[in-house]
Chain A
Amino acid sequence: EVQLVESGGGLVQPGGSLRLSCAASGFTFSRYWMHWVRQAPGKGLVWVSRSNSDGFSTTYADSVKGRFTISRDNAKNTLYLQMNSLRVEDSAVYYCARQGGTPYIDYWGQGTLVTVSS
């Protein structure tokens, strides 16, 4: 069974940093591209970033480019999202998600809440 478990969320002040983790199990993590998607309270889904299977190719939404970094440790079956220079508008539930065989997301974690507030 595919499982994605996010952690690392919490309350942080504007301008601060946070690192999210996503522990993957139930599939061969190193073979799959992975994504981060966020959802502000009461709002819709917004794509944030993706990593290819070896972590050497990454893309970002314009809203987070230069501030967020996606990375992965295939030996630990873990995906990361380093978030720097956080803004109030970055407050959201952050989902870790697996990409299927073509560019669609097939499995999602349960999410971790990030709140940016003074």
Chain B
Amino acid sequence: QSALTQPASVSGSPGQSITISCTGTSSDVGGYNYVSWYQQHPGKAPKLLIFDVTNRPSGVSDRFSGSKSGNTASLTISGLLAEDEAHYYCCSYTSSSTRIFGGGTKLTVL
């Protein structure tokens, strides 16, 4: 099964907002409200940012928000900070009871 489709890179200036898309199929992203998003800094383990499409775990900044329309989920980061520079991955539950990740998006804060 191929990875969910994410843009390879996005960029933005401090204070701006950016959105990262994550496109799948009706067998994963479109079929369930079980999309999660992770942030990964170099050499570190991933960190959960969003679960079940729109929910933020306690301790995660409200600058991070998630949404979904059809087979595409999105992560929006508002008020960009230098520390937001990292890789971001989406993940979805699938109809086979497996999980599938996106290919990852490198965010550069200009």
B36 touches A45 (CB 8 A): no
With A45-B104, A95-B45, A108-B45 known as contacts, the answer to whether A103 contacts B89 (CB < 8 A) is no
- Within 56-91 of B, Cβ neighbours of A (below 8 Å) are at 57, 87, 89, 91
B48 touches A104 (CB 8 A): yes
* 0/1 interface trace, chain A 15-50, chain B, CB 8 Å (1 if under): 000000000000000000001010000001111001
CB neighbours (8 Å) of B3 from chain A are: 44, 46
Question: Counting CB contacts under 8 A, is A118 at the interface?
Answer: no
Interface size range of chain B in the complex: 20 to 34
Question: Counting CB contacts under 8 A, is A62 at the interface?
Answer: yes
Interface size range of chain A in the complex: 20 to 34
B binding-site residues for A, Cβ under 8 Å: 1, 3, 32, 34, 36, 38, 40, 45-48, 51-52, 57, 87, 89, 91, 93, 96-104
